[in-house]
Amino acid sequence: MRERIRDKERLVHILTAIDNLIDGSKRYTVEEAEQDTIIFYGFVKQVEIIGEATYKLTKEFRAEHPEVEWDVIEGMRHVLVHGYYEITPHKVWHVIHNDLPVLRPFIERYIQEESANQ
């Protein structure tokens, strides 16, 4: 059962994974991820964490914040887990550089809101 009180914890997991991905993409190039599967799957795991933490958010929380495409984020996790053979470093880099910078401010704001409500 999903508990509203744990939404803040899940949001922190999302923010941490976003920061790990952004920081990691500064240390490694997409070419290095293409050449080293361990590096690549480290990035993939962080994206999976974002999707899993999103899945664990309560339906109420997600409904209260429709400006984020939660279903798309959750769906990415399913693709990474079940369609892992279709994911490329370039697709992951696209998410890191195009989607995560847009998502991050929302997550920061939600964490602040949840902290104020506790």
CA 99/CA 39 separation, integer angstroms? 20
Query: For the segment 48-76, what is each residue's pLDDT rounded down to a tens digit?
Result: 999 999 999 999 999 999 999 999 999 99
The answer to whether 107 touches 14, Cβ cutoff 8 Å, is yes
Give the pLDDT of residue 2: 65
pLDDT at 98: 97
Query: pTM for this one?
Result: 0.94
In the set 13, 77, 104, 109, the catalytic residue is 77
CB atoms within 10 A of CB 36: 13
Give the pLDDT confidence score for residue 117 in this predicted structure: 81
What local confidence, expressed as pLDDT, does residue 106 receive? 98
Domain containing 57 equals 4-117
**Identified catalytic residue from 27, 62, 65, 82:** 82
CA separation for the pair 17, 11 (Å, rounded)? 10
> Over the chain (118 residues), what is each successive 10-residue block's mean pLDDT?
82 98 97 96 97 96 97 94 92 97 98 89
Domain count, the chain: 1
Count of residues in the chain: 118
**What pLDDT shows up at residue 91?**
95
pLDDT the model gives residue 37: 95
Residue 77 designated active-site: yes
Query: Catalytic site residue 82?
Result: yes
